[in-house]
Amino acid sequence: MANTKHIYLTGFRGTGKTSVGALLARSLGRTVIDLDGVVTANAGKSISEIFQDGGEVAFRDLESDALASVSETENAVISLGGGAILRAGNRAIIRSTGVCVWLDCDAETIAHRLQQDDVSLEQRPALTELDELQEIRELLNVRDPLYQEAADHRLDTAGKTIEQVGDLVIEWLRGNASV
């Protein structure tokens, strides 16, 4: 497996992108980049504060700028924010600078994982007026076709440990000579 492209992880929040990204980076000897972390570092604010001050559009602008910047680095594992695929320009960057693995699972599993994650509850703003499960379902209906468009490979993470998901990603990568 040659180190010639980025490995992007996409999917809804709670699907394991950050945890699997860190594991993959260690296993593959690559740098790990968490795009949400880059956005908050660049803005000097939490995601909730960015949304509070400028709304989702301001956050998505910062996210697009961060993606453009990190895509110019060398051979990283990049964990994308769950909505990074919403903009066509972002999907084009992802497709042209690496391979993308879509970490997917059902809405109920996502809701359960998010309820167990204090950081997510504290730092991630609601994006609709719906209850959590309905919001997840609604957003997945919009995002799933975009995840599909951006992804080279889809992996269901429900019922799997981070290590199992990491192993499955590595197995797929080994079969993909362009990575």
Using alpha carbons, list the distances in angstroms from residue 51 to 48, 59, 86, 145: 5, 6, 16, 25
- Which residue type sits at 56? E
List per-block mean pLDDT (blocks of 10 residues) for the chain, which spans 179 residues: 76 93 96 96 93 92 97 94 95 96 95 75 58 89 96 95 96 76
Q: Judge whether 8 and 78 are in contact, CB under 8 Å.
A: yes
**Residue-level pLDDT at 2:** 41
Q: Which domains does the chain have, with CATH numbers?
A: 6-168 (3.40.50.300)
Output the pTM of the full model. 0.90
Amino acid 48: pLDDT: 87
Question: How much is the pLDDT for 128?
Answer: 60
pLDDT of residue 141: 95
Q: Say what the pLDDT of residue 123 is.
A: 56
| Residues sharing a CB contact under 8 Å with residue 63, sequence separation 6 or more, in sequence order | 35, 36, 39, 81, 83, 84, 90
Task: Return the pLDDT at 126.
Answer: 56
